């Protein structure tokens, strides 16, 4: 992707975006420009908390309950794991196992493991294993060729 940024001294400011396909990255840019970035709500203790999806490290399903993990908090989410993935479809989230979705933007290091699995180290130092069932699609996702179906 080529990025051309120019500061102007006078005249009207403008933004031109040219793309072949509305990928998650393009949709994210458009949301920021239009000022309608998604917000999610979750529960912590007995109160509702608003969260930016980009603050989420990963989302996990445990005993049929869905939790979103950030650097500071663990929030109970109302949606199922599949529902969360559908809601976050246009952002950099990827289902990495039967019970987990990771925020690809929060991955710092990737390491190939035996049995075609991948160890993803997140910004907070936590390790998430991308199961062999999802590893091939994850590699395609990173290359930009993966389409959710």
**pTM for this model (two decimals):** 0.74
DSSP one-letter string for 96-114: EETTEEEEGGGEEEEEE-G
Rounded CA-CA distance 22/96 in Å is 23
40-84 pLDDT per residue, tens: 889 999 899 988 888 999 999 999 999 999 998 999 999 999 989
Amino acid 67: pLDDT: 96
Structural domains of the chain ordered from first start: 39-143 (2.40.50.1020)
Q: 37: pLDDT confidence band, cut at 50, 70 and 90?
A: low
| CA count, 13 A, side-chain hemisphere, 70 | 17
Give the pLDDT score at 91.
Answer: 65
């Amino acid at each position: 992707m080529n990025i051309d940024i120019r500061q102007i001294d006078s005249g009207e400011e403008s933004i031109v975006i040219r793309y072949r396909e509305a990928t998650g990255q393009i949709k994210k840019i458009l949301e920021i420009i239009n000022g309608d970035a998604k917000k999610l709500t979750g529960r912590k203790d007995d109160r509702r908390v608003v969260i930016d999806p980009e603050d989420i490290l990963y989302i996990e399903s445990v005993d049929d309950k869905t939790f979103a993990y950030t650097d500071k908090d663990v929030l109970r989410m109302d949606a199922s794991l599949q529902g969360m993935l559908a809601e976050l479809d246009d952002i950099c989230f990827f289902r990495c196992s039967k019970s987990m979705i990771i925020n690809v933007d929060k991955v710092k290091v990737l390491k190939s493991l035996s049995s075609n699995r991948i160890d993803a180290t997140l910004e907070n130092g936590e390790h998430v294993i991308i199961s062999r069932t999802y590893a091939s699609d994850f590699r395609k996702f990173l290359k930009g060729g993966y389409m959710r179906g």
